[in-house]
């Protein structure tokens, strides 16, 4: 079995690895580290949780052990799609560089520009950043990328999914052509092929698992959910989630609950709190300090349920997550693999349960097609008391509803029976000025003597009175 000592890493890096408790590299590390140390471009493809971060962290530290950075000119650059992943990469650098005199800077949103600029001005060996904040510093004239020797794109496919293609292309253009480039990703989409063909030079392709596969230690299941009524779908789905959590009992020591939309993340977290569950939300619209505090509480075991958007689906190393619940089926099937990859890490057992409503069935079929496996169907513990109305009754209700509305509207528009309102002449133009006070009073007196509403059948005595007048 290969050990880290066989990979020609810097002795000080090996010492830090040993103190961290690692002896043997994972397959992706064993394949990528030697190629990176030889100065070759690397394209690493492996499922999440296999140690991709150390695959570029360890060789970078060994390559940067000699030399010194100049002000505003970092020697290496690591691009990450999210703030949380960038912060985790920074933690890895701190762990493995404890015996090296190397500096690093973390450029992410939610942190003061002045604090970051102060670190950059001193010169940094390793610059870890999200694309947006990196370009902000560059446009301010506070950063020069012409001295970058090693550039890493972590979770490359997620970068592309989040719309960072223009930013990445621009950043590549700001770095030297002679740089060494390392691409690491969990899936290999066609767009990644195009990017790698453009920016990587004869890369060493290291693929240690079939594309978009889930770990065998994860037990998967799906509950096919159908609401009793359309207007009750959201509340019944949240009730189903609570019943699934309760059904797992003590086995569910902690869990991550994924929602597709940020609004659903907030609603789901508030609903769980309302029913006495220890839950908190995390998504891109929250302040960085709040996101960091929530993640630390979840890592430390002080928080049981973490309700998250896909911002937490990629690359976050949260150990010992027992369960993952997909409150929504992800729109991209690759995201399913990354979501459930938060559990069952480092050989541990985990469980992933997905809630699938009728409108999500097409997306769920795409997930099963991607992983080339049928996900077992689980029994729905939710027994609704209110059964949906029969189809015929629903159609009848739809047909009768417009008539009832029209009748209600006509009753409201009927004039009061006390005083009949005189109707205007047809040839009278709209908007004509109202009559004066005297003429209005005179018309009211005349109206009292008028015969109104006798229809086609007239009493005989009235007809006789008119004939007598005509004869006279």
Q: Give percent above pLDDT 90 in the chain.
A: 49
Average pLDDT over residues 307-322: 76
Comparison of pLDDT for 361 and 399, the residue scoring more: 361
Predicted confidence (pLDDT) at residue 335 exceeds the cutoff of 50: yes
One domain for residues 85 and 230: no
| Local confidence band at 302 (pLDDT 50, 70, 90 cut-offs) | very high
- The residues, any chain, with a CB within 8 Å of residue 55's CB and separated by 6 or more, are 28, 29, 32, 33, 36, 42, 44, 184
| Domain that includes residue 87, residue range | 4-207
One domain for residues 34 and 152: yes
Q: Is residue 449 part of a domain?
A: no
Predicted confidence (pLDDT) at residue 406 exceeds the cutoff of 60: no
The tokens describing 400, both together, are 């009768």
pTM attached to this predicted model: 0.63
Q: Is residue 142 part of a domain?
A: yes
Compute the distance between CA of residue 313 and CA of residue 315 in angstroms, rounded to an integer.
7
Q: Count of CB atoms within 10 A of residue 446's CB?
A: 10
Predicted confidence (pLDDT) at residue 451 exceeds the cutoff of 70: no
Counting Cα atoms < 13 Å in the Cβ hemisphere of 135 gives: 11
Predicted confidence (pLDDT) at residue 258 exceeds the cutoff of 90: yes
One domain for residues 358 and 237: yes
Average pLDDT over residues 411-431: 48
Provide the number of structural domains found in the chain: 2
Compute the distance between CA of residue 88 and CA of residue 74 in angstroms, rounded to an integer.
19
Counting Cα atoms < 13 Å in the Cβ hemisphere of 200 gives: 24
One domain for residues 124 and 146: yes
Q: Is residue 458 part of a domain?
A: no
Query: What is the domain-level CATH number for residue 43?
Result: 3.40.50.300
One domain for residues 27 and 77: yes
One domain for residues 268 and 338: yes
- The residues, any chain, with a CB within 8 Å of residue 355's CB and separated by 6 or more, are 222, 223, 225, 237, 240, 241, 244, 325, 326, 327, 328, 329
Of 153, 188, 207, which residue constitutes the final position of a domain?
A: 207
One domain for residues 363 and 227: yes
Of 371, 396, 424, which residue constitutes the final position of a domain?
A: 371
One domain for residues 226 and 192: no
Compute the distance between CA of residue 26 and CA of residue 22 in angstroms, rounded to an integer.
10
When the pLDDT of each residue in the chain is averaged and rounded to a whole number, the result is: 81
Average pLDDT over residues 156-183: 87
Of 325, 354, 371, which residue constitutes the final position of a domain?
A: 371
Comparison of pLDDT for 228 and 161, the residue scoring more: 228
Predicted confidence (pLDDT) at residue 12 exceeds the cutoff of 80: yes
One domain for residues 182 and 226: no
């Amino acid at each position: 079995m290969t050990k880290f000592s066989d990979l020609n890493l810097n002795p000080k890096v090996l010492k830090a690895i040993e103190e961290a408790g690692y002896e043997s590299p994972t397959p992706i590390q064993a394949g990528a580290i030697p190629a990176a140390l030889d100065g070759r471009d690397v394209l690493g493809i492996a499922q999440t949780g296999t140690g991709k971060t150390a695959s570029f962290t360890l060789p970078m530290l060994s390559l940067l052990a000699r030399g010194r950075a100049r002000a505003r000119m970092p020697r290496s650059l690591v691009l990450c799609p999210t703030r949380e992943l960038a912060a985790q990469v920074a933690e890895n650098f701190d762990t493995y560089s404890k015996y090296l005199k190397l500096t690093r800077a973390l450029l992410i949103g939610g942190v003061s520009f002045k604090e970051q600029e102060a670190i950059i001005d001193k010169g940094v060996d390793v610059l870890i950043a999200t694309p947006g904040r990196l370009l902000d510093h560059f446009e301010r004239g506070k950063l020069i990328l012409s001295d970058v020797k090693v550039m890493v794109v972590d979770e490359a496919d997620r970068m592309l999914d989040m719309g960072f293609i223009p930013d990445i292309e621009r950043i590549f253009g700001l770095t030297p052509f002679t740089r060494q480039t390392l691409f690491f990703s969990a899936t290999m989409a066609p767009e990644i092929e195009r990017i790698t063909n453009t920016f990587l030079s004869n890369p060493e392709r290291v693929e240690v698992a079939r594309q978009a596969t889930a770990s065998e230690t994860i037990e998967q299941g799906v509950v096919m959910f159908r609401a009793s009524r359309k207007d009750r779908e959201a509340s019944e789905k949240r009730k189903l989630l609570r019943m699934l959590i309760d059904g797992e009992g003590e086995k569910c020591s902690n869990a991550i609950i994924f929602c597709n939309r940020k609004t659903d993340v907030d609603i789901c977290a508030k609903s769980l709190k309302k029913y006495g569950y220890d839950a908190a939300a995390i998504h891109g619209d929250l302040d960085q300090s709040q996101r960091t505090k929530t993640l630390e509480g979840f890592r430390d075991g002080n928080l049981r349920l973490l309700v998250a958007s896909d911002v937490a689906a990629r690359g976050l190393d949260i150990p010992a997550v027992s369960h993952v619940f997909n409150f929504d089926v992800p729109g991209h099937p690759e995201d399913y693999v990354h979501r459930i990859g938060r559990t069952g890490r480092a050989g541990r057992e985990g469980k992933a349960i997905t809630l699938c409503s009728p409108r999500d069935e097409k997306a769920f079929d795409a997930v099963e097609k991607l992983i080339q496996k049928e996900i077992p169907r689980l029994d729905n513990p939710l027994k609704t008391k209110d059964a949906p109305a029969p189809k015929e009754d629903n159609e009848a209700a739809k047909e009768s509803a417009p008539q009832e509305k029209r009748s209600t509207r006509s009753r409201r528009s009927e004039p009061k029976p006390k005083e009949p309102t005189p109707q205007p002449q047809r040839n009278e133009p709209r908007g004509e000025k109202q009559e004066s006070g005297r003429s209005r009073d005179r018309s009211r007196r005349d109206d009292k003597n008028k015969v109104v509403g006798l229809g086609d059948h007239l009493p005989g005595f009235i007809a006789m009175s008119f004939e007598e007048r005509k004869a006279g």
